[in-house]
């Protein structure tokens, strides 16, 4: 009962916000120091235009992934990764490419994409998203020791519930139902996003459910 769905939600707006908040700050101090008001305005417009283009390309990639057009999706993802390195657009492209690999039953290829994303993501929240998805795939592939290492590397932050759920999945796969129940309860106590699903997994492991 491991969820390996790699769908994205509200990526475009989040990425636009990141670009505006972080991209401008990189050169903002230099530009202001030079007093290049018009240059600054041009740069802002240029960055907004690039963000819009990247957002459109990402939406097109997601559409290709959703419709199972793996050939086109691969090309679109590679273009995003090459043209927008150092931004979350490249990371989300890698996440989508990992989904394409999973659709093709290529778990190893999916994990390779996620490892790249983890190494190149600078935002802690994105790193946590990548870790969680990598761990889910590894659990689904039966690579429990590798999944455990990924989970152990996660910080105890707002994703604590998600990684507690993953610890439960790993323990359950190993047959340690007591540890799985404790982990699932920890996930629920820490506001795991898919609480109903986690509760179902916890109920399945209750003494009554197991006779």
* All domains of the chain in start order, with CATH: 1-113 (no CATH), 123-211 (1.25.40.10)
For the stretch 185-194, contacts whose Cβ atoms lie closer than 8 Å and that sit 24 or more positions apart, written own/partner, are 186/160, 186/161, 187/161, 187/162, 188/161, 189/161, 190/160, 190/161, 190/164, 191/161, 192/161, 192/162, 192/164, 192/165, 193/161, 193/162, 194/3, 194/165
- Rounded to whole angstroms, what are the CA distances from 131 to 22, 57, 76, 190? 23, 24, 23, 18
Q: Note the pLDDT tens digit of each residue in 100-113.
A: 999 999 999 999 99
Q: Distances from the Cα of 192 to the Cαs of 106, 165, 170, in angstroms?
A: 28, 8, 16
**Alpha helices by DSSP H, 8-106:** 11-18, 24-34, 37-66, 70-83, 88-103
* Interval 159-182 mean pLDDT: 95
Q: What is the pLDDT of residue 43?
A: 38
Alpha-carbon gap, residue 72 to 28, rounded angstroms: 37
Per-residue pLDDT band for 208 (boundaries 50, 70, 90) equals low
Query: 45-93, pLDDT tens digit by residue?
Result: 545 567 788 888 989 999 999 999 999 999 999 999 999 888 889 999 9
d(CA 121, CA 146): 20
pLDDT digits (tens, 9 = 90+) for 136-158: 999 999 999 999 999 999 988 88
% pLDDT > 70, the chain? 75
- Element containing residue 187 per DSSP (H, E): helix 177-189
Q: Is the pLDDT confidence value at 40 over 90? A: no
Q: What is the mean pLDDT of the chain?
A: 82
Say how many C-beta atoms besides its own lie within 10 A of residue 9's C-beta: 5
Q: What is the pTM of this model?
A: 0.74
Q: Which of 55-59, 163-167, 186-190 has the lowest mean pLDDT?
A: 55-59
8: left (phi over 0), alpha (psi -120 to 50) or beta: beta
19 pLDDT higher than 80: no
Q: What is the mean pLDDT of residues 197-208?
A: 88
């Amino acid at each position: 009962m491991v969820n390996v769905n790699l769908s994205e939600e509200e990526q475009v707006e989040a990425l636009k916000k990141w670009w505006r908040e972080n991209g401008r700050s990189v050169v903002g101090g230099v530009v202001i120091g030079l007093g290049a008001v018009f240059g600054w305005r041009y740069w802002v417009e240029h960055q907004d235009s690039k963000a819009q283009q990247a957002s459109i390309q990402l939406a097109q990639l997601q559409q290709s992934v959703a419709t199972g057009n793996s050939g086109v999706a691969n090309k679109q993802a590679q273009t995003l990764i090459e043209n927008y390195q150092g931004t979350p657009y490249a990371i989300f492209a890698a996440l989508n490419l990992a989904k394409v690999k999973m659709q093709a039953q290529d778990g190893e290829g999916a994990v390779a994409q996620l490892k790249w994303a983890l190494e190149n993501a600078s935002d802690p929240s994105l790193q946590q998203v990548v870790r969680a998805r990598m761990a889910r795939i590894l659990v689904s592939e039966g690579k429990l020791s590798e999944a455990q290492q990924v989970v152990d590397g996660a910080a105890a932050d707002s994703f604590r519930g998600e990684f507690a759920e993953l610890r439960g999945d790993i323990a359950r796969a190993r047959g340690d139902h007591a540890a799985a129940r404790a982990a699932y309860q920890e996930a629920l106590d820490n506001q795991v996003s898919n609480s109903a699903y986690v509760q179902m997994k916890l109920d399945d492991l209750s003494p009554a459910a197991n006779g």
